[in-house]
Amino acid sequence: QKLRLGEAIFIPFKSNDGAYIRADAGGYQVLLNFHGGIESFKTIPLTEVLEGQIPPELMEDRIVLVGAIGESLNDFFLTPYSSQTPGVVIHGNLLSQILNGALEGRDFIQVLPEQYEWLWILAWSFSGTFGSWFLLEITRYRENIFLKWSLPILGVLLAANCLFWGSYLAFVKSWWVPVISPLLAFIVAAVSATIYHNWRLHRESEKKLNQFLEAVPIGVAVLDKKGRLYYRNKKADLLLGKPRINCLDIETILELNPIYIAGSKELYPIHKLPIVLALKGEQIIAENLEIIQKDRRIPIESMGTPVEDEVGNIIYAIATFKDISERRKLEAEREEYTQKLFKLNQELEESLDNEFLLNDACGRFVPHQFLSFLGYESIVEVKLGDAVQKEMSILFSDIRSFTSLSETMTPEDNFKFINAYLQRMEPAIENNNGFIDKYIGDAIMALFGGTADDAVKAGITMLDLLAEYNTTRQRPERPPISIGIGINTGSLILGIVGGANRISGTVISDAVNLASRIESLTKVYGVSLLISHHTFLQLNNYENYDIRLIDSVKVKGKSEYVTVFEVFNADAAEIREGKLATRSLLELAIACYNMKKFKEAACLCQECLKITPWDKIPQIYLERSQNN
């Protein structure tokens, strides 16, 4: 029988209802649906009642509970709202539930019958099993480490989320639905399915591996980590001449199947066998092994390989055995044939060495790259009139004031100085994919068949090497030197010119002449490295260089103007910082000058000179502006 009051039916509590397990269900107990904490009820201090401060209508038609909330009385209980809920508040929640149920028909907390709870848990267990099995059957999931970890975690979180919100919505409707037990069932089922699936895959892979190892045409043996025979295929049995007996240790196996050092009757040392070394983590191949089978010595090649688990521990050692009798026979024949060829090779090598020395010596006069552009490998193939047109960058460099410098030296010292200088400059060109076409006294002409960046990098490197060289020239008789470098890019013709008895490689093009004239402009503008706008436009990474606009000039013998730029990466740090600081001002001054705004140009140049009084470029434009 169940108690009833108004519309409320009081369902008696059972010992396993809800989250309770074997709880005390004595008397007529019901599950309490809390209305709230102490703040949900009107409370009045007893002193106000005794002093008559409470209006009568406040308590009219109301149920009044009298209770203590002082800590000293210790009348507190653990509830969903607090760990210290006064007993009178619990009585208030109970009365609130009875009145709401009786007067308003509010449902009391209900629980699923125990068999339905088990069905609920079983359903989540099945979902964990089938969900895990579905993922494990997807090859991409099994092979992706990230997915193998992330998807199970997401699945558990999703299941927990569904359970939590489903339970919450059910609780709002006064139904108690289990959460923890279904979630645990979901996780345990998913883990169990994963373990079983992996075990099944392992068994299948072992079966396939055995089939594969039995099919290979070489002998295979496997030892476990304790050195006991774990597996040996039929080919190994035939080769060793004895049937396999699993679980034997290595010493016993060698007693039954002795292995000898090739060409002797001495047993092969156990600790040097490839399969034993594999147990120590080494991978090694041995070809000096022999076995004796029916009075016939069979040469064997064996390779040992360790097998590690996921954390790097060795769990197996695999060794392969191969009969190399045929190979040894072929090696003997090959050795005989090799000896016959040896003498021929020596003669051929001598001829090739002589040709190499000849080409190397000629390459110091005619660069190998020059011949390569013409399509030849050796200078002996070159013919008069051979020529090819190429798009290339041309670099000219020249020592400043070399004439006056050479007058202070003897002819011998002159040659020593020039050679010392040129030997330092040559690597800068060759290391940047260029080659030196010719030396013209102290001047260098170099060609670059790759990008314009190669030529600019070579120029910067030459200036860096020169700065290093100048550190050794700090005496009056060895003053520091400076050079000018000009670079242009354009089409040119490489070819062979000359007569019947004397030929030479040369380059013909207006682009070459322009590079030479740009180099001469470095003296005019007081800079070290100038490039034409043709080179500037061909740069792949111009932002990697410190470049500033210098001028547009009409080169002698040409009607078109050429814009020249300075590359000042190799300047001293203080000078480089000054040029970077005034670069925008200078370019604006040049623009004003070109637009015939001479007054503005002069003012901007003066601003530049305040920062870099040593800079010749703003000084040149200042004088030009003042003269117009």
Separation of CA 511 from chain center: 44
- 244: domain CATH number? 3.30.450.20
Domain of residue 185 covers 114-207
Q: Residue 431's pLDDT band (boundaries 50, 70, 90)?
A: very high
In a domain, 343, yes or no: no
Task: Determine the Cα–Cα distance for residues 432 and 447; give it in Å rounded to an integer.
Answer: 11
Within this chain, do residues 385 and 492 fall inside the same structural domain, yes or no? yes
Query: Could you give the angle at the alpha carbon of 151 between the alpha carbons of 148 and 153, nearest 5°?
Result: 105
Within this chain, do residues 145 and 221 fall inside the same structural domain, yes or no? no
Tokens at 316, concatenated:
């197996």
Check if the beta carbon of residue 337 is closer than 8 Å to that of residue 313. Answer: no
Give the pairing type, strands 547-554 and 561-567: antiparallel
b/e per residue, 258-287, with b = 16+ CB within 10 A? ebbeeeeeeebeeeebbbbbbbeeeeeebe
- Residue 368: pLDDT above 70? no
Listed residues 89, 111, 133: the one ending a domain: 111
Task: Determine the Cα–Cα distance for residues 86 and 70; give it in Å rounded to an integer.
Answer: 9
In this predicted structure, what is the pLDDT of residue 31? 74
In this predicted structure, what is the pLDDT of residue 212? 79
Listed in sequence order, the DSSP H helices in 241-384 are 250-256, 274-279, 325-363, 368-374
Within this chain, do residues 414 and 376 fall inside the same structural domain, yes or no? yes
Q: Which of 361, 357, 397, 362 is nearest to 379 (CA)?
A: 362
In this predicted structure, what is the pLDDT of residue 549? 94
- 536: domain CATH number? 3.30.70.1230
Could you please report the per-residue DSSP string of 528-574?
Answer: SEEEEHHHHHH-S-GGGS-EEEEEEEE-TT-SSEEEEEEE-TTS-HH
In a domain, 287, yes or no: yes
- 436 CB-near residues (< 8 Å, 6+ apart): 367, 426, 429, 430, 444, 445, 446
- Residue 187: pLDDT above 70? yes
Task: Determine the Cα–Cα distance for residues 48 and 355; give it in Å rounded to an integer.
Answer: 123
Q: Residue 364's pLDDT band (boundaries 50, 70, 90)?
A: very low
3-state secondary structure of 365: coil
Within this chain, do residues 428 and 535 fall inside the same structural domain, yes or no? yes
Tokens at 430, concatenated:
């060759």
- Residue 381: pLDDT above 60? no
Listed residues 79, 111, 143: the one ending a domain: 111
Name which of 152-166, 450-464, 579-593 the model is least confident about. 152-166
3-state secondary structure of 405: helix
Check if the beta carbon of residue 258 is closer than 8 Å to that of residue 240. Answer: no
287-293: average pLDDT: 83
Task: Determine the Cα–Cα distance for residues 360 and 348; give it in Å rounded to an integer.
Answer: 18
In this predicted structure, what is the pLDDT of residue 571? 92
Within this chain, do residues 160 and 243 fall inside the same structural domain, yes or no? no
In a domain, 350, yes or no: no
pLDDT tens digits, residue range 244-277? 666 677 777 777 778 888 888 888 888 888 888 8
Q: Please report the sign of the dihedral spanned by the C-alpha atoms of residue 231, residue 237, residue 239, residue 241.
A: positive
Within this chain, do residues 553 and 510 fall inside the same structural domain, yes or no? yes
Q: Residue 362's pLDDT band (boundaries 50, 70, 90)?
A: very low
Average of per-residue pLDDT values in the chain: 81
Better-predicted residue by pLDDT, 579 or 628: 579
559-587: average pLDDT: 92
Task: Determine the Cα–Cα distance for residues 505 and 373; give it in Å rounded to an integer.
Answer: 11
Name the domain count of the chain: 5
Task: Determine the Cα–Cα distance for residues 431 and 424; give it in Å rounded to an integer.
Answer: 12
Q: What is the pTM of this model?
A: 0.45
Q: Please report the sign of the dihedral spanned by the C-alpha atoms of residue 62, residue 66, residue 68, residue 74.
A: negative
Within this chain, do residues 157 and 21 fall inside the same structural domain, yes or no? no
Q: Residue 387's pLDDT band (boundaries 50, 70, 90)?
A: low
Q: Where are the beta strands (DSSP E) in 202-350?
A: 219-224, 229-232, 260-261, 284-293, 296-308, 314-323
In a domain, 44, yes or no: yes
pLDDT tens digits, residue range 293-307? 777 888 888 888 988
Q: Which of 118, 197, 122, 119 is nearest to 152 (CA)?
A: 197
Instruction: Please give the radius of gyration of the chain, using alpha carbons only, rounded to the nearest integer.
Output: 48
Within this chain, do residues 274 and 411 fall inside the same structural domain, yes or no? no
Tokens at 498, concatenated:
């000359």
Tokens at 437, concatenated:
């076409």
Q: Count the Cβ atoms, other than its own, within 10 Å of residue 88.
A: 16
Amino acid at residue number 362: C
In this predicted structure, what is the pLDDT of residue 65? 84
pLDDT tens digits, residue range 227-238? 888 888 888 877
In a domain, 357, yes or no: no
Listed in sequence order, the DSSP H helices in 478-572 are 510-525, 533-538
Q: Which of 469, 575, 574, 560 is nearest to 529 (CA)?
A: 575
- Residue 35: pLDDT above 80? no
Could you please report the per-residue DSSP string of 15-80?
Answer: TTSTT-SS----SS--------SGGGS----HHHHHTT-S-GGGTTT---------GGGT-EE--S
Residue 439 to residues 395, 425, 435, 447, Cα–Cα distance (Å): 12, 11, 11, 12
Most confident stretch, 140-144, 170-174, 321-325, 456-460: 456-460
558-574: average pLDDT: 89
Name which of 161-165, 365-369, 413-417, 431-435 the model is least confident about. 365-369
In a domain, 329, yes or no: no
What number of CA atoms fall less than 13 Å from residue 56's CA on the CB side? 0
Listed residues 58, 82, 111: the one ending a domain: 111
In this predicted structure, what is the pLDDT of residue 374? 56
Tokens at 187, concatenated:
């996780």
In this predicted structure, what is the pLDDT of residue 15? 74
Within this chain, do residues 524 and 390 fall inside the same structural domain, yes or no? yes
Within this chain, do residues 91 and 7 fall inside the same structural domain, yes or no? yes
Q: Residue 67's pLDDT band (boundaries 50, 70, 90)?
A: confident
Residue 457 to residues 368, 529, 542, 578, Cα–Cα distance (Å): 21, 11, 11, 22
Q: Residue 396's pLDDT band (boundaries 50, 70, 90)?
A: very high
Q: Count the Cβ atoms, other than its own, within 10 Å of residue 584.
A: 12
Give the pairing type, strands 110-111 and 175-176: parallel
Amino acid at residue number 442: D
Within this chain, do residues 86 and 130 fall inside the same structural domain, yes or no? no
In a domain, 612, yes or no: yes
Tokens at 174, concatenated:
């006064």
Task: Determine the Cα–Cα distance for residues 22 and 224; give it in Å rounded to an integer.
Answer: 52
Within this chain, do residues 198 and 245 fall inside the same structural domain, yes or no? no
- Residue 9: pLDDT above 80? no
In a domain, 495, yes or no: yes
In this predicted structure, what is the pLDDT of residue 363? 43
Check if the beta carbon of residue 442 is closer than 8 Å to that of residue 448. Answer: no
Check if the beta carbon of residue 325 is closer than 8 Å to that of residue 298. Answer: yes
Task: Determine the Cα–Cα distance for residues 194 and 135; give it in Å rounded to an integer.
Answer: 9
pLDDT tens digits, residue range 114-137? 788 888 888 888 888 888 887 777
